Chains A and B, each alone.
Chain A
Amino acid sequence: MMIMNDLKYAIRLLSKKPGFTILTTLVMATGIGLSVFLFSFLNSLIFKPLPFENGDSLIQISASQNGVWKVGTLNLHDYYEIRTNLKNLAEFGSYKNVSLNVSGRDGARRYSAVAAEPNIFQLTRTKPLVGREFTTADDQVGAENVVVIGYDVWQNQFSGDPKVTDQSLRINGESHRIIGVMPEGYFFPISAEMWVPMREDATRITRGAGGNVFGLAHLQNGVSLSDVNGELAVIMQRLEERYPKTNNGIGAYVSPIPQLAVEDGAPVVRSMQFVVFLILVLASINVGNLLFSRAIERGKETAIRVALGAPRSRLISQMLWESVIICTLGGIIGFLVMIWGLEVTEKTLISFTIDRPPFWQTFGIDSYTITLSILFVISAIIFTGVLPAWKNSGSDFNAVLRDGTRGALGKKAGKLNRRLVISEIFVSMTVLIAAAVMLVANFRATNADYGADPKNILTAQVLLIESKYDTPDKQTQFVKTLESSLQNNAGIGDVMISSALPGVVTATPTMALEGKEYTKDNGYPRANYIITTPGSLEKLGVELKDGRYFNSSDDGLDKKSVIVTDSFVAHHFPNESAIGKRVRVVELDGDEPNWLTIIGVVKHTIQGSPIEEPGKTPSVFRPFSQAPRGQMTVAMKIKTDVEDVTRTLRQTLASIDSELPAFNVELYDETISRLTAPMLFGAVLFLIFGTAAAILASSGIYGVMSNTISQKTQEIGVKRALGAVEERITKEFLMAGFNQFLWGGVPGLIIGCAMGFAMSQMFGMGSADLLFIAIGLVIVIGGVVMLASYIPTKRALLMEPSAALRYE
């Protein structure tokens, strides 16, 4: 009954001041909504265990480079060394991503697939829906070709035929018997639609002939990831000493598969979580302060209640109900907006990949999100309600009743307010530096110059069937035929063929420069190694800086010419011309060094994310005919329309080889947009967080300081009565504000810069950028603090001293 009375009273008080109620509710909705959104988003993206039995212990072993976690494959022999020597992992398995060309009556189609060791399904504790999983017999060289297909392939290609295991698929020009169908939604490890045996055994092949794989395993009970990574570091160090030529700078690390998406961006993820948590703290401080001010305003009323015998618990309960209502309402609004945000996010993330997104990424309400929301609402209630209620209910009410002055209560309130302001300044400085670093980095990435003009170009990928195109001559001949056939078509302008277009991540083998000695400590540098047909760079708009582009004189396996980017020159030949200098690709050398002469220098092209290492890595281009390969990207200038060019490409490919599909067909600028989409998404996300933080921080600082100064109106009156001139009082309050700015701002600046520095290292931002951000924010937050001191002081000074003395 008492509780109902208190609740009714709180509702009455809140409805009497609708502006206050709406403002505080929206502030809490912002704080709770944003923080739950980001925690839920990150949980679904990277922290949620894979949806299998023991999914939380399933990890992937990947290669790192110079200590940088980069999702790279391990040399097969290195993987075997790890498997033999690593004690803290169990149930090893390995796989590699492959593209399968599947041909049938209606043409050829490419599927994302995985070539794996036979235990891949056992690792995920998942049985096929139809048929069987792999056996060790399937993995033997010379065994019958078999394939396990995904649920969607089964439904789309075989209409869910239960006797599908009696049928075969023609994959990469060879017949494969279907032995099983995996359950719906199974795309392990990321987005695979088919699985084939890997059939690579390190014990039967030499080190140089081995392929590259990702390792899989389960963590032993009680073993942490850092334990395993420590053990791995020792093993990889040993391998580096044994094989300095191939393993220089190569390490390995384990990580749950979803967390691989962030590579070594864990500090950024933690920073993001910290930032949104601080936004929630900011919102709570603001609402707490507003409620505390109201409690002070009602000090006399509270004093009367005490005089009438109200126990302290009742007073706290009464004051607490306002927080409960505001935080719960804010929580509900924030939760609803967050659900909408997650839906939008899911749709946005689908556009990041041309294939399907990772199978575990489902965004929406789950038990984690609900639990977190409830937890945040309860924390907000405690933060905004309990502390001010406790503090206010314990004041000297006798003094309040006796003379009506603020007395001891005013002093306590003043102290609390000062602490609130300092906390707000500290939190806002930290949050805004972190948010600004991420915002600037992401916006820069979005607007980066990839080095090519992507307008009006259609791109597609082609993967030659290994068994058919098993010699360099056959591969070169195919490319020449394709290029001339496409070029002769009226709907297509320029044709460019390359292993990777600017913007797309590519392999970075080790390089050596003639005349330079490489020791273990000064390892071989790496560069993007891109194979391209003569004329492609020019047609793509990659600007020539020195020398010449490739031409027909560079054609032939016996020719040895390369073009490098100006970033390569700046790094390796500062202050001299690179033309005529020689480099070699260490990993591709045979018994003798294969020196390649630099014949041209082009502008830097970004191969991968511009905010990460690959984007800054210099590139080396080589003519296709000198180093042919089976995988290529075909880029065509569109003269007619996209459909026409796509149709022409497919027909041309079919006329050359009916088993070759064109896949990942899309406009080049769409490729670039897709590549920059995560950064744009990050930029928008941080723009929202940054704006919310800035508004909450500014309004909070202003609110608390204004409140503090308002509570000092009487003191201002006293000082004026004693003869203080307005300038003196204004200066005094500005100094007090500045003092609080120093107390909160300096630690905030230190922690914010530390976080910002860690993030700027990740994003490749210079110290000057961080300094600029820090100075900018010192000016902005300092300005807010000074304004928050100046305006209320000026307002109080507008009163006659006599009025200020009587101010309640």
Chain B
Amino acid sequence: MSNSLIKLENIKKVFYTEEVETHSLSDITFTINKGEYVSISGPSGCGKSTLLSVLGLLDTATEGKYILAGQDVSNISKSERAKIRNKEIGFVFQSFNLISDLDVEENVELPLTYRADLTKDQRKQMVKDALEKVDMSHRAKHFPSQLSGGQQQRVAVARAIAGKPSIILADEPTGNLDTKNAEAVMQLLDKLNAEGATICMVTHDPRSALRTGRKIDILDGRIVADKTTATKKAEGTFTPAAKSALIEEPSI
């Protein structure tokens, strides 16, 4: 039985405007196995967020094949995509994207309410478990505006894991946070991965990238490197920033 969770083959994404045709992704091919902790890095505008959108079925590829959990999701309908997003994928966004009108508990419960197969009690239990995992149970009745950035992101992580998805897709999860809060969120993701969660994270931050087991580098919409971080460390193929981060890497 195959261990692969995500399989991309020759994915292309082209944006069309009236005058310009922008190739955001070209010939992207890679596989993510269950339990892997992958980071996608690259400079601004290189296409990493577009790649994450395609991975998360938030956008469709112009060409190529995408297999998620053994199912070809390249050409499925909008409603099927929604169902798969709901069951298989958990999102963590840079700007948290919590619904300001809902309290913490309701925010975490939100994706579960889109499932018909869960009873209210089951949902409540899953929300409770998720909030406990991120250590936010004590803030269940607070609204997002009453929380710090770090706390909001922890709630966002709880929302991502509440439905026990196959993979967590995180888009610059520490981008809006200070060092202390960023570290806490990263520790949370590390812990989730250690417990078996598959995580794919887009990040600018070399230190965050170093914590993952595998690092995919993208430049101008193409994969320029796809190596385990152990290999990278051994090869010494890190950018100066990554090197400095490596030296200062805190022990986890």
Question: Does the CB pair A723–B145 fall under 8 Å?
Answer: no
Interface size class for chain A?
Answer: 20 to 34
Q: B19 to chain A: closest CB distance in Å?
A: 19
Q: B209 to chain A: closest CB distance in Å?
A: 22
Among B85-93, B197-205, B242-250, the one that faces the other chain is: B85-93
The answer, yes or no, to whether B83 is at the interface (CB within 8 Å) is yes
Question: Does the CB pair B101–A414 fall under 8 Å?
Answer: yes
Query: With a CB–CB cut-off of 8 A, which chain A residues contact B114?
Result: 722-725, 728
The answer, yes or no, to whether A546 is at the interface (CB within 8 Å) is no
A/B interface sample: 12 pairs, CB < 8 A: A407-B100, A408-B145, A723-B82, A723-B89, A723-B163, A724-B82, A724-B114, A725-B114, A726-B79, A802-B59, A803-B59, A805-B58
The answer, yes or no, to whether B3 is at the interface (CB within 8 Å) is no
A407 to B96, CA, bound (A): 10
A715 to B101, CA, bound (A): 10
The answer, yes or no, to whether B47 is at the interface (CB within 8 Å) is no
CB-defined interface of A717-752 with B at 8 Å, one 1/0 digit per residue?
A: 111111111111000000000000000000000000
Q: List 8 additional A-B contacts (Cβ < 8 Å) besides A407-B100, A723-B89, A803-B59.
A: A402-B176, A410-B100, A411-B101, A718-B93, A719-B110, A721-B85, A800-B53, A802-B50
Q: Which residues of B contact A (CB under 8 A)?
A: 50, 53, 56, 58-60, 78-79, 82-87, 89, 91, 93, 95, 97, 99-101, 110-111, 114-115, 145, 159, 163, 176
CB-defined interface of A785-808 with B at 8 Å, one 1/0 digit per residue?
A: 000000000000000111101000
Which of B85, B87, B145, B163 meets A407, CB within 8 Å? Answer: B145
CB-defined interface of A697-727 with B at 8 Å, one 1/0 digit per residue?
A: 0000000000000000011011111111111
A562 to B11, CA, bound (A): 99
The answer, yes or no, to whether A403 is at the interface (CB within 8 Å) is yes
Query: With a CB–CB cut-off of 8 A, which chain B residues contact A673?
Result: none
Q: B149 to chain A: closest CB distance in Å?
A: 8
Given A408-B145, A723-B85; A718-B59 close (CB under 8 Å): no
Best-buried of B79, B85, B87 by chain A (most CB within 10 Å): B85
Please, which residue of chain A has its CB at the minimum distance from the CB of B156?
A718
Best-buried of B50, B58, B82, B110 by chain A (most CB within 10 Å): B82
The answer, yes or no, to whether A646 is at the interface (CB within 8 Å) is no
A803 to B53, CA, bound (A): 9
A805 to B82, CA, bound (A): 15
The answer, yes or no, to whether A99 is at the interface (CB within 8 Å) is no
Question: Does the CB pair B58–A801 fall under 8 Å?
Answer: yes
Q: B206 to chain A: closest CB distance in Å?
A: 22
Question: Does the CB pair B99–A718 fall under 8 Å?
Answer: yes
A727 to B97, CA, bound (A): 21
Given A403-B176, A411-B145, A802-B58; A726-B99 close (CB under 8 Å): no
The answer, yes or no, to whether A405 is at the interface (CB within 8 Å) is yes
A246 to B87, CA, bound (A): 88
Query: With a CB–CB cut-off of 8 A, which chain B residues contact A414?
Result: 100-101
Question: Does the CB pair A723–B83 fall under 8 Å?
Answer: yes
A410 to B110, CA, bound (A): 19
Query: With a CB–CB cut-off of 8 A, which chain B residues contact A805?
Result: 58, 93, 97
Please, which residue of chain B has its CB at the minimum distance from the CB of A797?
B78
Question: Does the CB pair A715–B99 fall under 8 Å?
Answer: yes
Given A723-B87, A800-B58; A718-B97 close (CB under 8 Å): yes
Q: B18 to chain A: closest CB distance in Å?
A: 17
Query: With a CB–CB cut-off of 8 A, which chain A residues contact B159?
Result: 722
Which of A403, A408, A724, A728 meets B95, CB within 8 Å? Answer: A403
Q: B249 to chain A: closest CB distance in Å?
A: 27
Question: Does the CB pair B59–A801 fall under 8 Å?
Answer: yes
A800 to B85, CA, bound (A): 13
Q: A25 to chain B: closest CB distance in Å?
A: 32
A717 to B83, CA, bound (A): 15
Question: Does the CB pair B56–A721 fall under 8 Å?
Answer: yes
Which of B60, B86, B100 meets A723, CB within 8 Å? Answer: B86
Query: With a CB–CB cut-off of 8 A, which chain A residues contact B83?
Result: 723, 725
A805 to B84, CA, bound (A): 18
Given A405-B95, A714-B97; A721-B58 close (CB under 8 Å): yes
A496 to B58, CA, bound (A): 86
A154 to B68, CA, bound (A): 103
A182 to B91, CA, bound (A): 91
Best-buried of A714, A715, A723, A725 by chain B (most CB within 10 Å): A723
Given A802-B58, A805-B93; A725-B100 close (CB under 8 Å): no
Please, which residue of chain B has its CB at the minimum distance from the CB of A715?
B99
Query: With a CB–CB cut-off of 8 A, which chain A residues contact B145?
Result: 407-408, 411
Query: With a CB–CB cut-off of 8 A, which chain B residues contact A725?
Result: 78-79, 82-83, 114
Q: A300 to chain B: closest CB distance in Å?
A: 15
Q: A716 to chain B: closest CB distance in Å?
A: 10
A464-493 CB contacts (< 8 Å) to partner B: none
Q: A81 to chain B: closest CB distance in Å?
A: 70
Query: With a CB–CB cut-off of 8 A, which chain B residues contact A717?
Result: 58, 97
Please, which residue of chain B has its CB at the minimum distance from the CB of A800?
B59
A383-424 CB contacts (< 8 Å) to partner B: 402-405, 407-408, 410-411, 414
A660 to B93, CA, bound (A): 97
Question: Does the CB pair A722–B100 fall under 8 Å?
Answer: no
A240 to B58, CA, bound (A): 84
Question: Does the CB pair B59–A726 fall under 8 Å?
Answer: no
Please, which residue of chain B has its CB at the minimum distance from the CB of A719?
B110
Which of B59, B60, B85 meets A722, CB within 8 Å? Answer: B85
A725 to B86, CA, bound (A): 9
Q: B64 to chain A: closest CB distance in Å?
A: 16
Which of B56, B84, B87, B100 meets A411, CB within 8 Å? Answer: B100
A719 to B82, CA, bound (A): 10
Query: With a CB–CB cut-off of 8 A, which chain A residues contact B82?
Result: 720, 723-726
Question: Does the CB pair A720–B100 fall under 8 Å?
Answer: no
Query: With a CB–CB cut-off of 8 A, which chain B residues contact A724?
Result: 82, 86, 114
Which of A403, A407, A411, A722 meets B91, CB within 8 Å? Answer: A722
The 3 closest A-B CB pairs, nearest first, are: A723-B86, A802-B53, A722-B111
